[in-house]
Amino acid sequence: MTTATRDLMSTSEAARCLGVAAETLRGWVRQGKITGRVTPLGLLFDAGDVHDLAAAREAAAPLAVLPQRYRL
């Protein structure tokens, strides 16, 4: 496996990392939320892009799960 290949994730790996279905991830590619590379192996994602998106989703969500009385 080359260095470039190790930095890529399959659609199923990226979806699992993001906690979404593969079809949701493909929709995000169509919407421009993340870039995928079409290869002979299928749609692949840069691991850094996936981790950045996961961190952004995590940072945006925590208050949504708190009951109203605990929100500032």
Rounded to the nearest 5°, which phi and psi values hold at 27? Answer: -65, -40
The secondary structure element, H or E, covering residue 14 is helix 11-18
Q: What is the pLDDT of residue 1?
A: 46
Dump pLDDT digits (tens) for 10-58: 999 999 999 999 999 999 999 999 999 999 989 999 999 999 999 998 8
Q: What is the pLDDT of residue 21?
A: 96
Burial class (CB in 10 A: 0-12, 13-18, 19+), 22: middle
Classify 3-70 by CATH class: mainly alpha
pLDDT category at 66 given cuts 50, 70, 90 is: low
In this prediction the pTM is 0.74
pLDDT exceeds cutoff 90 at 60: no
Summarize the chain as % helix, strand, coil (round to 5). Answer: 60, 15, 25
Name the residue with tokens 């208050």. 63
